Every structure is written in structure tokens, then in C-alpha cells.
């Protein structure tokens, strides 16, 4: 009887398809640009509502969702690049700078959903810190990538 956990490879661990996929650093760079733009757009929309003292609107909510999705995609690409042995020198800046925005989105989900003026202000503050963190990770990562080429 074959176990459901056993793979089709000779050692029972699978045939290594994900290990055979190689991701180029330029993909990480391109998605990084999208992350920075998405974070800045979400921040600008939320700050606008917070400045007015009103709950965030549909456009801001969609921008927040988009920023979260591209940030998660960027994280998965980064994990794959680390698996390929790339980016080891700049691990800490990527862990702090890249994961901080995701952590702040979690905090925002608990504390500040933008449902009223006060909540929008807290959310705006969290997004400002998250955007600055994403920009920091992008610029430091980009300068490292330029020197490593």
C-alpha cells in the first residue's frame, strides 16, 4: 500500500519539480518595483482619508489588498531565490525590510481597519512605516544587486 505522503521519486520525497525551476533576480527586481508602487498608492489613498478624518473608501481597500498580494508574491520569490543560494549576504535587511510591511498589515488587521477617522489615522501611520520599510529594502537590495552583477 502506498502512502499519500510518499512522492513518486526514488527516495519517496518527490521528483523535485520546484527545485528545478530557476527564478531570475530580474523577476524579484520587477516585482519589487510593483511592491513599492503598490505600497505608495495604498499609503497615499489611506493618508488622504485619514487627513479628512473619514473612513477609508473602496479604492483604498482595493489598493491595500493589492499591496498585500504583491508583497506576498515578492516574499515567495525571495524565498525561492534564497533557496537557489542568492541574496545570502543581505538576508537581514530583506528579513527586516521585507517582512515588516507584512507584519504591519497583520497589526492593521487587528487594530486599524480604517472603519472610522481614528482607525484610518492609525492605519495611515502603519502604512507610512511599511512603505518606508519596503523602499529601504528595495533600495538596499537594488544597490547590492548592482554590485553583485
Q: Where are the domains of the chain?
A: 23-148
Helices within the chain (DSSP H only): 17-20, 25-52, 58-83, 91-111, 117-148
Q: Quote the cell numbers at residue 118.
A: 481614528
pTM of the model: 0.80
d(CA 20, CA 93): 27
Residue from 47, 60, 43, 50 nearest 134 by CA? 43
Mean pLDDT of 137-143: 82
Q: Note the pLDDT tens digit of each residue in 14-62.
A: 466 666 778 888 898 899 999 999 999 999 999 999 999 999 999 999 9
Is 57 strand, coil or helix? coil
Amino acid at each position: 500500500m502506498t502512502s499519500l505522503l510518499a512522492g513518486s521519486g526514488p527516495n519517496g520525497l518527490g521528483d523535485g519539480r520546484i527545485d528545478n525551476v530557476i527564478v531570475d533576480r530580474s523577476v524579484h527586481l520587477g516585482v519589487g518595483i510593483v511592491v513599492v508602487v503598490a505600497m505608495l498608492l495604498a499609503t497615499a489613498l489611506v493618508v488622504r482619508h485619514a487627513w479628512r478624518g473619514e473612513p477609508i473608501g473602496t479604492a483604498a481597500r482595493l489598493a491595500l489588498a493589492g499591496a498585500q498580494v504583491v508583497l506576498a508574491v515578492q516574499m515567495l520569490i525571495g524565498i525561492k531565490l534564497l533557496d537557489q543560494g542568492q541574496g545570502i549576504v543581505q538576508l537581514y535587511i530583506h528579513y527586516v525590510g521585507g517582512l515588516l510591511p507584512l507584519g504591519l498589515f497583520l497589526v492593521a488587521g487587528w487594530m486599524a481597519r480604517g472603519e472610522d477617522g481614528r482607525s484610518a489615522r492609525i492605519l495611515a501611520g502603519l502604512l507610512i512605516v511599511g512603505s518606508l520599510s519596503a523602499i529601504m529594502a528595495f533600495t538596499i537590495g537594488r544597490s547590492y544587486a548592482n554590485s553583485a552583477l
